Structure 1
Amino acid sequence: MNPTWKQSVIYQIYPKSFCSAHGQATGDLAGVTARLDYLQWLGVDWIWLTPIYLSPQRDNGYDVADYLAIDPRYGDMADFTRLVAEAGRRGIQVMLDIVVNHTSTEHEWFQTARRERDHPWRDFYLWRDAPNNWQSKFGGPAWEYDPVAGQYYLHLFDTSQADLNWANPELRQAVFAMMRYWLERGVRGFRLDVINLISKPADFPEDDSDGRRFYTDGPQVHEHLQQMHREVFAGREVLTVGEMSSTTLEHCIHYSRPDRRELSMTFNFHHLKVDYPEGRKWVAAPYDFIALKRILSTWQEGMHAGGGWNAVFWCNHDQPRVVSRFGDSGAWRVPSAKLLATALHGLQGTPYVYQGEEIGMANPGFADIAQYRDVETLNAHRLLLAAGLPEDEVMAAIRQKSRDNARTPMQWDAGPNAGFSSEAPWIDLAPDWREVNVAAQRDDPDSVLHHYRRLIALRKRHPVLADGDYHCLTPDHPALWVYLRRTPAATLVVACNFSGETVAETLPPLGELAATGPARTLIANHPDTPPLAAALQLRPWEAVMWLVD
């Protein structure tokens, strides 16, 4: 019997941009609680909250200053306790984001460590008298000199995010105690931020690149996660998902295979780099559709064969909106948003829906750098201009790739500030909020929102969506992605046309399948869906799921 989370759908909430119950510029926990009825109606089983801890917000909460305190911007512990209780009453479990590759430099551990060389917390961080040549993922050197400490500290991300020293057993115990603290307060899941970066080689070798090959899936990472499982998860029903940066399929099988006793599932991002020409993020470029299918198919087949489990997703707080990225945010926004949902929710793995994805929110297209708030984006703008790139070229890349594309406020209705707050939000609204919002789509049974609701319900009704193997029928087709999901009892066909043109293709396996028994249309994004047959003809951005059982 599969764990229940294999039939579940998880909804990611970025609290800063979700809903403000108190009329402030940023969202809050009370705003999340106020929207739980909506999430129950949508049918999701879990909500994942991105960091709500006390933080200076240099990286929107991923720079934690106190793991045991709620940031006052979001409320207090009473607000959190009420949220957990109210979610539970609606059959929704709560997952917290755990950020333990690094802390804010304002954390008490770091502030003490920089002042007192002999304090035990000094060894909670990674210090050197001279830096090596590794580079930060946010741009620039990965080492920062601290004049109080008299040494350099490692920061793989922003200079305000000092990396923790997981080789120190006392640090590990402090992290495990913090996680147990939240479990005791009703949390039932953890999303572990860049967790495969926590183990660094002791000698910090020089590199001919940026250093990531030495610390990605580092030397003791599996040992650390197995210890975490023993000391935090064992004996409890806890759902865990690891965010894996630049990882490999082999490692993710190990992270998520049940007998390894590490994590429940993993995120990987290889499919979200198909619009990075030669691996460069900050370049405006089209995406490679065949590469997208190839990467997703490789992970579908490999994780299934190896006994691992995928977290499947298009969007999160760090990624552009998928309808702008792989769909059509113009005339074909509605069918392409539904197609993207169908293609993803047909895959094996636990689907994640990022707030606003279910209504087809698009990139805002901000033209002025002053409209952006993200530290990575602002660093990229500064560094790319300093390297001599033209402003228009830099801004074109930022409009396409910035993390702020996902961080504009949730569009609830056509009222002031899209129903997000009575006060102007911390970042501008996307310009389409009057037309693209929850209220309008909830009243429209043919909307993107209702399509997501139907997909979420299908996963609970049809075991093939969780258990079936995966086989792609169109790996090299320039517009079609057609794949099968199969168990001994049923076969699911998912057919998607990723183009604005009608496409016809003859696929003999579909004809053979249709001959074995009647095929039911489970869901489609166009009316008058044709029956399953070898001669497949799909209209622009058409997507269909057929079931043969």
Structure 2
Amino acid sequence: MLTKKSRIKDVYANPIGRDIIDRVLLQMNISKKAVNNPIIGSLRLKVLPKLLKSQLDEGFVDTLLTLLNTEHETAKGNDEMILKAWWKEAVFYQIYTRSFKDSNGDGIGDLQGIISKLDYIKELGIDAIWLSPIYDSPNDDNGYDIRDYHKIMAEFGTMEDFNQLLTEVHNRDMKLIMDLVVNHTSDEHKWYQKAIQEPNSKYGDYYIFKDQPNNWTSFFSGSAWNYVEERGQYALHLFSKKQIDLNWENETLRQEIHDMIKWWLEKGIDGFRLDVINYISKRSGLPEANESIGKLMEYKGVEHYFYGPRLHEYLHDMKEKVFIPYNAFSVGETPGIGMEMSKLLTADYRKELDMVFSFDHLEMPGRTRFDDYHYDLNYLKSFMINWMENYGEHCQPSLFFENHDNPRMISKINSERQYRNVLGKLLAVIQLTLRGTPFIYQGQELGMINQNFQSIEELRDVESLNLYDELCNTMKKEEAFSKILAGSRDHARTPMQWNNQQYAGFSTGKPWIMMDEDYKICNVETQFQDENSILRFFQNLITLRKEHRVIYYGEVLFINQKEKDLFAYYRKDGTETLYIEINLSSSNKKRTKYPEGIRLLSNYAEDSSSFLRPYEASIWKYN
């Protein structure tokens, strides 16, 4: 049991404590050396508010201790062989249905559009598809506000279309996982409608209501509470006002969710990506948010639900009752969760989740998604080394740079067009040669970049629009739009670029969201005809990955770790050795040693013996 008399080094030894301290250091752009310093490490918790009175209030330590003392377990060491599984060897491809391919000319992607492009996905080398939500929804948050879990959104097609899609995916020896959104539903879901109209029915406790709101804030701006006239109470919504949080404390609700998941698994789908799944357990009584933590995290209340007291119980229960009987795969979206907590959520012997998405590598220390800056790949190097060396063999890392919630990675690193091709390939090398399961987001295999939005009217994302309105209260509209443009989720949601014809071959009608003219030079059709394209490189690299199984389970051995701009590592097992060398900068980098063996693949056609060119990335096979 940790108390105010505990020392910082004791807190850092606690799995939650280590992750929280690492998170705070990341947010404040402070090196971990500060905590490892013997003097700092020996300080007692009770002195922190006095030392950091400008940043921490008196209640910070009490809040921290409550959170720390909810977890007493630590992950096992690497005392066993890595367990093999299909999803540890697979390459996943995320489809954002609305923007992938439109089959009927209404400007909105649909299921028949996906079916028409399955051969493309198979030819790319993909093993499994992750489908963003396609359930019936009023679309306040583009499908992440579900009205009916058992119906397909009319804009996307019918259940017959889905059944055909699933059959066609399996016919091509690929697997299909769906997006499971069970932290919240739409306020138009029948459960919520009955909860407010029949508060004394079983549905009356399916959501979280309070007579008076606390000070928690929504991730989509403003208070996290809506006043509900029918009940004379407030309903919790961590996201948009139409996304109402479910009350997982209610056992009957949990059973309904389990039954719904089984219904989809009975259809034959292969698993789920679980949306913000670590938010499902809220601390009893919904305490007030700590102001200091709110300032650090930019959202109030997160300390009471990002790693809630019953999270492990809920996940283990779902695994045992639902996922294991159907041999279903699960990957959780877990914002705010660090490495130590991820181990406890995904270690194979704990039977909770198979994998999680950790997001700490997507932004630089001290930066957020809405900051306009250039991403330094040396930070990505340090992040990957840490996870590869310390995550453990009981856990499988997820490898991704893009998804439907983040701007395009190439644009964040270097927006100069001359580096687009080599940068796209460099990221592919990292993603497909480290140990872990790669998740490629649609268009990433083309090197798609951020869109050239000209006005707020061209954006569609509820998060961006709400934040823009909020920012306009304190800054000029031009400044507010510039900030939104740096991090808007809409950059990743513009249509897939299939050819250089009107609307990029996405639709015969005007797309639901704007697209600039980048498709004229960056599209599938053009890149398939170019052996040196990013698309062809992805295709060749995925093939290479399948041919060299050392990438799946082999050892990762990093060298020259302290040398700036050089990311170099071996992949080894008892049968072969691969060597990967990458220049993380836009300048030439002198080689200290020329690699031995055969160069299997590189983002430059010809080799240079004396130096690595800008963003050069090569894979070598040693004898």
| TM-score (structure 2 length as normaliser) | 0.83
Q: Is the 8 A contact 2:504 2:519 kept in 1?
A: yes
Query: CA offsets per residue over residues 171-222 of structure 1, 9 Å max, x none?
Result: 1111111111111112112000011111001121112211111211211111
Matching of residue 326 in structure 1 with residue 404 in structure 2: no
- Taking a change above 3 Å as real, the CA distance of residues 320 and 281 of structure 1, as seen in their structure-2 partners, is closer
Distance 1:362 1:147 in 2: 45
Matching of residue 480 in structure 1 with residue 566 in structure 2: yes
Query: CA offsets per residue over residues 49-85 of structure 1, 9 Å max, x none?
Result: 1000000101000000000100100000000000011
Aligned length: 533
Q: Is the 8 A contact 2:494 2:515 kept in 1?
A: yes
Q: Is the 8 A contact 1:290 1:475 kept in 2?
A: no
Q: Is the 8 A contact 2:582 2:617 kept in 1?
A: yes
Matching of residue 546 in structure 1 with residue 620 in structure 2: yes
| Residue type of the alignment partner of 2:517 | P
| Residue type of the alignment partner of 2:421 | V
Matching of residue 523 in structure 1 with residue 601 in structure 2: yes
Distance 1:473 1:296 in 2: 13
Matching of residue 335 in structure 1 with residue 422 in structure 2: yes
Aligned partner of 2:349 in structure 1 is 259
**Shift of residue 293 of structure 1?**
2.0
Superposed, which structure 2 residues align to 1:447-462 within 5 Å? Answer: 447-462=533-548
Aligned partner of 2:467 in structure 1 is 380
Matching of residue 33 in structure 1 with residue 115 in structure 2: yes
SS of residue matched to 2:326: coil
Task: Choose from 267, 272, 276 the match for 1:190.
Answer: 272
**Shift of residue 356 of structure 1?**
0.5
Query: CA offsets per residue over residues 335-365 of structure 1, 9 Å max, x none?
Result: 1111111122111111011000001111012
**Shift of residue 288 of structure 1?**
3.8
Q: Is the 8 A contact 1:138 1:157 kept in 2?
A: yes
Superposed, which structure 2 residues align to 1:173-252 within 5 Å? Answer: 173-207=255-289, 208=291, 209=294, 210-252=300-342
SS of residue matched to 1:270: coil
Distance 2:107 2:351 in 1: 42
| Residue type of the alignment partner of 1:103 | T
Q: Is the 8 A contact 2:369 2:486 kept in 1?
A: no
| Residue type of the alignment partner of 2:572 | R
Distance 1:541 1:479 in 2: 9
| Residue type of the alignment partner of 1:481 | F
Superposed, which structure 2 residues align to 1:386-535 within 5 Å? Answer: 386=473, 388-506=474-592, 519-530=597-608
The range that moved more, 251-260 or 157-166, is 251-260
Percent identity between the two aligned chains: 40
Q: Is the 8 A contact 1:21 1:30 kept in 2?
A: yes
| Residue type of the alignment partner of 2:498 | W
Q: Is the 8 A contact 1:253 1:306 kept in 2?
A: no
**Shift of residue 156 of structure 1?**
0.9
Distance 1:528 1:78 in 2: 50
Task: Choose from 131, 136, 139 the match for 1:54.
Answer: 136
- Taking a change above 3 Å as real, the CA distance of residues 471 and 393 of structure 1, as seen in their structure-2 partners, is farther
Q: Is the 8 A contact 1:323 1:329 kept in 2?
A: no
Distance 1:75 1:52 in 2: 9
Aligned partner of 2:84 in structure 1 is 2
Structure 1: any 5+ residue segments left out of the alignment?
none
Distance 1:315 1:520 in 2: 31
Matching of residue 128 in structure 1 with residue 210 in structure 2: yes
Structure 2: any 5+ residue segments left out of the alignment?
1-82, 295-299
Matching of residue 308 in structure 1 with residue 395 in structure 2: yes
Q: Is the 8 A contact 2:373 2:412 kept in 1?
A: no
**Shift of residue 23 of structure 1?**
1.1
Superposed, which structure 2 residues align to 1:17-166 within 5 Å? Answer: 17-166=99-248
Distance 1:410 1:348 in 2: 28
SS of residue matched to 2:345: helix
Q: Is the 8 A contact 1:363 1:400 kept in 2?
A: no
RMSD: 1.6
Query: CA offsets per residue over residues 252-281 of structure 1, 9 Å max, x none?
Result: 11222111111211111000121xx63543
Q: Is the 8 A contact 1:282 1:380 kept in 2?
A: no
**Shift of residue 541 of structure 1?**
1.6
SS of residue matched to 2:239: coil
